[in-house]
Amino acid sequence: MVEPPRPVSVVSVVALNDLHLQLDFDDGLSRTVDVTPYVQGPHYKQVRLSEKFFKTAHIESGAVVWDNGVMLDADLLRYGPPKPPKPEKVKATKPAKPAAKAKPKAKPVKVVKAKVKPAKAKPKAQAKKVAKSVKPVKRAVKPAAKPAKAKTAKPAKKLAKKKK
């Protein structure tokens, strides 16, 4: 913990223009201070508005005082306004995530296409057997048996005509 600075007193004051004071402190520091931020209340109205009244500043008990009784503390003029205390850092805790039920992942469905070999010049009876032996797939796959009949029937007829 840092110890507060030692109390000081003003040993001389000279009022300058534009709400500035030339100050000498008992610790040997000499500085010019703009007192504008320190004379903002209604009690300081006469000090702010009248340059003639501002120049009546003098020292009483180590502080700067004006003729109407308002004063500025020497510590305020030497060290500035007190800094607000730093808030304590609170460690942020992450909220617990609700346990989600694991959903089984859907396995990709393999589409099996039936391979239909075109029928070679065979009698119609054999072509029917090939069509019956193909098992229809339960998916939305069109059965290949019907187009196979149309394709196999035409070449069989053409071959039959050529043999004659």
CATH number reported for the structural domain that contains residue 26 in this entry? 3.30.2020.10
Query: What does the pLDDT read at residue 87?
Result: 81
Residue 110 lies in a domain: no
Domain co-membership, 14 together with 74: yes
Phi-psi region of 69 (alpha: psi -120 to 50; beta: other; left: phi over 0): left
Q: What is the pLDDT of residue 86?
A: 80
**pLDDT tens-digit series, residues 139-160:** 655 555 555 555 555 555 555 5
CA nearest to 134, candidates 152, 113, 153: 113
Q: How many domains does the chain have?
A: 2
**Is residue 73 one of the residues assigned to a domain?**
yes
pLDDT in tens, 33-42: 999 999 998 9
Flag whether 35 is in a domain. yes
HEC-encoded secondary structure of the chain: CCCCCCCCCEEEEEECCCCEEEEEECCCCEEEEECHHHCCCHHHHHHHHCHHHHCCCEEECCEEECCCCCEECHHHHHHCCCCCCCCCCCCCCCCCCCCCCCCCCCCCCCCCCCCCCCCCCCCHHHHHHHHHHCCCCCCCCCCCHHHHHHHHHHHHHHHHHHHC
Q: How far, rounded to the nearest angstrom, does the alpha carbon of residue 72 sit from its chain's CA centroid?
A: 45
For residue 147, give its domain range: 124-163
**Is there a contact between 23 and 33 (Cβ–Cβ < 8 Å)?**
yes
Q: What is the mean pLDDT of residues 64-68?
A: 92
Asked whether residue 75 is assigned to any structural domain, the reply reads: yes
Please tell me whether residues 75 and 132 are part of one structural domain: no
Q: Is residue 48 part of a domain?
A: yes
The top-scoring range by mean pLDDT among 13-27, 68-82, 85-99 is 13-27
Is residue 102 included in any domain, yes or no?
no
User: Is residue 89 one of the residues assigned to a domain?
Assistant: no
Q: Is residue 97 part of a domain?
A: no
Q: What are phi and psi of 6, to 5 degrees?
A: -70, 145
Domain end call among 26, 48, 79? 79
How far is the CA of 109 from the CAs of 66, 116, 118, 140, 154, in angstroms? 93, 22, 28, 13, 36
Does 131 share its domain with 75? Answer: no
pTM of model > 0.85: no
29-43, 89-103, 110-124, 128-142, range with the lowest pLDDT: 128-142
